[in-house]
Amino acid sequence: MYYPRSFLKFILLGFLLVSLPLVYALAELLLSLDRLATQSRAEVLQASQAARSSRLLFEQVTTLERIARQEIILEDPALIEDYGRLRQEFARTTEQLALLPLEPAQRENLDRMREREGALFALLRDGQRTPDLARRLTGGYATLVEETQGMLSATTQLTQGAIERLQETASEGREKWLWLALASVAIALVLALTFALLIARPIRQLDHAVRQLGTADFKHAIEVGGPQDLRYLGQRLEWLRARLHELEQQQTRFLRHVSHELKTPLTAVREGAELLRDNVGGRLTAEQQEIVRIVRENTLSLQKLIEDLLTYHQSRALESATIAPVALAELVRRVLREQKLAASARAIDVETTLAPIVVAGDLERIRTIVDNLLSNAIKYSPRSGVIEIVLTAQEGFAVLDVSDHGPGITAAERTRVFDSFYAGKPPPDGKVKGSGLGLAIAREYALAQSGRLEVLDRVDGAQGVRFRLLLPLSLGAARAADGHAVARDPVTVGDRS
């Protein structure tokens, strides 16, 4: 598709092309009106001339008849002279009528009138005044008057024909103008829609590019078509994308290097604290044991933070995942076994209701999501509390609900709970506040699996919170899930005290 160099020129070109059919229709309308006006003037002039000439012809024939009667009675030569002058006017009038578009019968009638008048004039001028001549002249002029009246009717029909032709022309013009207007509007609409799509296409590409940059998707190249100025803008966005992608890679490499450099001395500190706790360097006092415990817990917390940072940046990089069928119920039970010690330390019971559901996704990423949700529930549940895990299938998705009886999440916090490094309120029992990356990582992984992660109220309305994970079912899994009953599987991973 050809685009002008400037977006403004492209819009002006589209406006011009859309206007051309309408301008053509308007020009054709003006020309048709001009032709109709010209034809109307010609028809009116012709009708007026025909009516005037026919009336004048009737008056001249009547006058010729009167002079002829007077000359028969008076035999005055001066009357013959007057008759001669008047018949010249009669001849000019018949010539004017002959120029009109008469029908063949009317034209023959006009020729007979000329011949009859000439024959009557010859009798009047050369004939002897006898009673028989008088009768012949009187009858001949009476017939001539009747033929003149017939010419009056003919000119009236000529005028009526002109009116009908004007009406027919006007009717044809209206029909032509209607079709022309409809065709012009249709063409203008098609051109307008075409140019609207062509104009909207590069704008949509720009919008998609901005959204792509806003979601930190720096791996897909940005291409913007259209006029040169918009293509240049797309090239600048592509440069920005490449620059941001390069900076993100540099940041990831820097973080990995720093994390590696931190892990080595941190491991040495933790191992030293373990040796001291095991009394390898000698028995410690109670105060020294407490100091060693604090050092050990903080080294573990720092190590967890470094691992969370690495995991978070891996999720932001959106590396390609291995998509395969995952038995979600078995995966949840595996995570429960891994979290058994953490739940037992707080005497927390976990009740599960798991349907045998298979989802399509990456096993390790889904495991990380479930692990983070369960860890968060254990962290914020009160001592000797209960965590409910329910797995069902709904409308092509596996729905995993993880509910606890903790302090809950306010409406204001729910809009930020999945933000990076947002930790919210500290957990109960004075537990160390988390890094604020667990739920952010879980959401990133859920989106990468074409799913989503939501925070909701508990179903029973009690205090606490419910996290809902939705993952797409694998092919055929929805039908298989409908054929199995949901299993109530209460699992106790901690003893209530």
Residue 96 domain-assigned?
A: yes
- Alpha-carbon torsion (299, 304, 309, 314), positive or negative: positive
DSSP state, 227?
Answer: S
User: Is residue 240 domain-resident?
Assistant: yes
pLDDT at 400: 93
Q: Which domain holds residue 338?
A: 321-491
Tokens of 100: 């009109």
- Tell me the CATH number at 66: 1.20.1330
| Tokens 């309120």 belong to residue | 425
Cβ(423)–Cβ(435) below 8 Å: yes
Read off φ and ψ for residue 436, nearest 5 degrees: 80, 20
Check whether residue 401 and residue 462 sit in a common domain.
yes
Strands 397-404 and 465-472, how do they pair? Answer: antiparallel
Residues 344 and 309 in one domain: no
Which CATH number is 441's domain given? Answer: 3.30.565.10
Residue 260's CATH number: 1.10.287.130
Does residue 130 form part of some domain? yes
Are 251 and 373 found together in one domain?
no
For tokens 């000797």, name the residue.
384
Residue where a domain stops, chosen among 289, 319, 349:
319
The verdict on 243 and 354 lying in the same domain is no
What's the confidence (pLDDT) of residue 492?
42
State the 10-residue block means of pLDDT for the chain, 497 residues long: 64 77 79 78 74 78 79 75 81 79 75 79 70 76 78 73 76 78 81 77 83 76 78 84 82 71 75 79 80 80 72 57 84 90 86 90 88 88 90 90 87 77 62 66 83 88 88 68 44 38
* In a domain? residue 204: no
Q: Is 435 within 8 Å of 304 (Cβ atoms)?
A: yes
Do 67 and 103 fall within a single domain? yes
* Same structural domain, 309 and 438: no
468 lies in some domain? yes
**Would you state the structure tokens that stand for residue 435, as one six-digit string?**
């890094």
Q: 227 lies in a domain?
A: yes
Domain total of the chain: 3
Residues 107 and 123 in one domain: yes
> Are 356 and 448 in the same domain?
yes
In a shared domain, residues 57 and 185: yes
Per DSSP, the three-state class of 207 is helix
Is residue 152 domain-shared with residue 174, that is, in the same domain? yes
Within a domain: 464: yes
Instruction: For the chain, give the number of residues.
Output: 497
pTM: 0.47
C-alpha–C-alpha distance, residues 25 and 175, integer Å:
13
Q: 149 and 40 share a domain?
A: yes
Tokens of 151: 């010419």
Helix (H) or strand (E) holding 469: strand 465-472
Q: In what order do the strands lie in the sheet with 452-456?
A: 452-456, 465-472, 397-404, 386-394, 349-354, 487-491
Position 2 in a domain: no
Of the three residues 129, 160, 194, the one that is the final residue of a domain is 194
476 and 345 within one domain: yes
Domain boundary residue, one of 285, 302, 319: 319
